Amino acid sequence: MAFRTDLEDTIVALATPQGVGAIALIRLSGPKAIGLTNQVFHGKDLTQVKSHTVHFGTIRDGERILDEVLVSVFREPRSFTKENITEISCHGSPYLAQQIIKLLIRQGARPARAGEFTQRAFLHGQFDLAQAEAIADIISAVSEAA
């Protein structure tokens, strides 16, 4: 993880593997994660909900409904990165997931770099360097022996 990160940025990325599946998970982390998600989510006001809750609604681009989704809200410091996090569970179409990510980027998020969620957790003291390296090893493993 040799890149610098601006912890004031709110980052977004697909958290599930690329490809077709039943569900895709889009994760945001940073100071504006809840507010940015709330701008495109129609359901409960996410700025008013408790941490560790899940809410049903739709993601909209203007008046156009992109998908029915579940949004999970994790408030700082009780999250993986110790920042505000939202996770959008949408239908698993790669095209649809990319449309939602692009919408969130237009709202002010930026694409996360590989390993940036883990880097933020490390920088906020969530775990030590050995644990961060172990997470990277697990993520990149191609077999049980790895």
> Contact at 8 Å (CB) between 43 and 56?
yes
Tens of pLDDT, residue by residue over 46-73, are: 999 999 999 999 999 999 999 999 999 9
Domains (ranges, CATH) in the chain? Answer: 12-110 (3.30.1360.120)
User: For position 57, what pLDDT does the model report?
Assistant: 99
User: For position 133, what pLDDT does the model report?
Assistant: 77
* More confident: 116 or 43: 43
> Contact at 8 Å (CB) between 53 and 108?
no
Angle between helices 94-107 and 33-40 (to 10 degrees): 120
134 token code pair: 């172990």
Torsion of CA 13, 125, 136, 52, to 10 degrees: -50
DSSP-derived 3-state class of residue 28? strand
